[in-house]
Every structure is written in structure tokens, then in C-alpha cells.
């Protein structure tokens, strides 16, 4: 398959080879895309360079979304190298560790602001910066989680940030649709990544979900990657503003 021939993408959120962002990037690369990658801070630079540096015509740029100058510089570099952008995979989130355990009611102002800024507002930020480069339309995909919709113990402020993210997907889709830009979220089931390990009791969450989900297992990052590939390709040309569950069916279950 070559679903993304002549397309250029930007992938945010590759921390290592287990990252959901990397699974998305691999699926898109297999389908002919050229891709830019952004990372946060020098700590991850080497990891990203090792993984993404081997892909043809890749560009690796620093982009801590709390630093607007870095965001602007990253998009300038992308414009300079490729002259266009067709899709974005936005796969980043953060909340201080202490906010991801105990009672949600005790969330501090700082933790709330940080979680919402990095995990939700950053989608606006990159959509706004990308729109002028998406001259022939485009597709933006972000990653959400069930905790946006239902209470998941310890997910706390991140659930609230994901609810904001999903609402933001709809508002952005409404604004950007006239430019032919689609915006969607994937709500992934739990996957054992670096960020996920920050959520207390992740191990028991994984086994609980595997037991209850209709498919009787946890979802794999590659399955999320394939869905992202579908959403950024023309196969999904009629889909925007949606949150699509990729969770082995867990979310449909009641009692
Ligand atoms: P990873 O830890 O692999 O990826 C998270 C990425 O977010 C990292 O690259 C991280 O960089 C980056 N990030 C954090 N803060 C910033 C910032 N200020 N600016 C730029 N990047 C930043 O974890 P996942 O692959 O699991 O997470 C990807 C997305 O998928 C997240 O939105 C997550 O909430 C979502 N998701 C994950 C699920 C799971 O179970 N794993 C389930 C459903 C959704 P750094 O390491 O430097 O902080």
C-alpha cells in the first residue's frame, strides 16, 4: 500500500520505540510518507534521532509546546524543508506525577494548568501553526483516553485534560473544515508506554481491561498506528470531529 505517497507529516511525541507516536510514524512511513519529528528537550533528542534519523528525508526539530518560540521555529523549519504539510500526529500529554494518584479534588492550580496546557491547548497551538502549510487540506490526529468520559481512578486531571482535548477536536474541526482540514481523536486503550507508567496501578489496569474487553486482550500500539494511518489518509476523507475508540471494544461494555 502507498496511501500517503507525496504526503508530508509531522509527528509529535516520539519518546522511544514503545511510543504510540512511533507506531503511527511507522505505519505512515510504510505507506510512503515523508515525516518531520519533534521532541521535547535534549534528553530525548538522541532517541528520536536514532529512530527517525534513518527514515528518508526526515527532519527532527525541538518542540516543547510550552515554549511558543520553539513551536514557531519548528513550523518555520518544516515550511522551509518541505514547503507543505499534509498531516499531524499529535501524541503528547503531561501531568505532574503527584496529580496522577490520590484524590482528584486535591489537584493544585499548577498541576491543572500544566496538564491542560500541554495535553489539550497544544493541539490548538499546532493546528493554528500548521493551517497555512496545509495548502491542499490536511488531517490532524490526536490521542485521547476513556478517562475523558468516565472516571478512571488515578487518571484524575489527565481525564479532565482529555475531555478538553476531545471537545477541542470538535471545535477545531468546525473551524478548519472550510480549509479542507480534518481533525480527529483516537481514544486508545491502555498501552504500556513511558507516560502510562506515570499512572499509578497501570499493571492492574491493563489486566482488568484485557479481561473485560470484548476482544479479551489489550490493544497494541501498532493497531493505534494503523488507525492513525487510516485517519490521515484519503480513505477517511469524510470523517472529522470524531473520537474513534481503538480499545478492543472495552468502552462498549456495561455490566
Ligand atoms: P510516551 O511517553 O511515549 O509519549 C508521550 C510524549 O509526550 C513524550 O514524547 C513526551 O516527552 C511528550 N511531551 C510531554 N510533555 C511535552 C511538552 N511540554 N512538549 C512536547 N512534548 C511533550 O507515551 P504514549 O505514547 O503513551 O503517549 C502518547 C499519547 O497517547 C498521549 O497523549 C497519551 O495521553 C495518549 N494515550 C496513551 C495511552 C496509553 O495507555 N499509553 C492510552 C490512551 C491515550 P517527554 O518524555 O520528554 O515528557
* Confidence at residue 53, expressed as pLDDT on a 0 to 100 scale: 87
Closest CA to 86 of 165, 169, 6: 6
CB 200 within 8 A of CB 102: no
Q: What is the mean pLDDT of the segment spanning 234-241?
A: 98
**91 CA to centre of ligand 1 in angstroms:** 6
Q: Write down the domain spans for the chain.
A: 8-252
Name the pLDDT band for 1 (thresholds 50, 70, 90): confident
Predicted confidence (pLDDT) per residue in 155-209, tens digit: 999 999 999 999 999 999 999 999 999 999 999 999 999 989 877 888 899 999 9
Indicate if the pLDDT at residue 249 is higher than 90: yes
Q: How far apart are CA 173 and CA 168, in angstroms?
A: 8
Q: How many CB atoms lie within 10 A of CB 214?
A: 12
> C-alpha grid cell for residue 213?
474487553
Within 10 Å of residue 53's Cβ, how many Cβ atoms? 11
For residue 117, pLDDT beyond 90: yes
Q: Any catalytic annotation for residue 155? A: yes
CATH code, 8-252: 3.40.50.720
- Collapsed DSSP state (helix, strand, coil) of residue 163: helix
Average pLDDT over residues 9-18: 97
* Residue whose CA lies nearest to ligand 1 atom number 28: 91
Give the distance (Å) from ligand 1 centre to CA of residue 35.
Answer: 18
- Contact by Cβ (8 Å): 58, 34: yes
Span 87-113, average pLDDT: 97
**Cβ 188 under 6 angstroms from ligand 1:** yes
pLDDT band (50, 70, 90) for residue 65: very high
Amino acid at each position: 500500500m502507498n496511501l500517503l505517497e507525496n504526503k508530508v507529516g509531522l509527528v509529535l511525541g516520539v519518546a522511544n520505540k514503545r511510543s504510540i507516536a512511533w507506531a503511527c510514524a511507522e505505519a505512515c512511513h510504510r505507506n510512503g510518507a515523508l515525516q518531520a519529528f519533534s521532541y521535547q528537550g535534549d534528553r530525548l533528542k538522541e532517541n528520536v534521532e536514532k529512530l527517525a534519523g534513518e527514515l528518508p528525508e526526515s527532519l527532527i526539530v525541538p518542540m516543547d509546546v510550552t515554549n511558543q518560540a520553539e513551536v514557531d521555529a519548528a513550523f518555520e523549519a518544516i515550511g522551509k524543508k518541505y514547503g507543505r504539510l499534509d498531516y499531524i500526529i499529535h501524541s503528547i500529554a503531561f501531568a505532574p506525577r503527584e496529580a496522577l494518584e490520590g484524590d482528584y479534588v486535591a489537584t493544585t492550580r499548577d498541576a491543572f494548568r500544566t496538564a491542560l496546557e500541554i495535553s489539550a491547548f497544544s493541539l490548538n497551538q499546532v493546528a493554528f501553526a500548521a493551517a497555512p502549510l496545509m495548502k491542499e487540506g490536511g488531517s490532524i490526529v490526536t490521542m485521547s483516553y476513556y478517562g475523558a468520559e468516565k472516571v478512571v481512578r488515578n487518571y484524575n486531571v489527565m481525564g479532565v485534560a482529555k475531555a478538553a482535548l476531545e471537545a477541542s477536536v470538535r471545535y477545531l474541526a468546525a473551524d478548519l473544515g472550510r480549509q479542507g482540514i480534518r481533525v480527529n481523536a483516537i481514544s486508545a486503550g491502555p498501552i504500556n508506554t513511558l507516560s502510562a507508567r506515570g499512572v499509578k496501578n497501570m499493571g492492574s489496569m491493563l489486566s482488568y481491561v484485557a479481561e473485560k474487553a470484548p476482544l479479551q486482550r489489550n490493544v497494541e500500539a501498532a493497531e493505534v498506528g494503523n488507525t492513525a494511518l487510516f485517519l490521515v489518509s484519503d480513505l477517511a476523507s469524510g470523517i472529522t470531529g470524531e473520537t474513534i475508540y481503538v480499545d478492543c471494544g472495552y468502552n462498549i461494555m456495561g455490566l
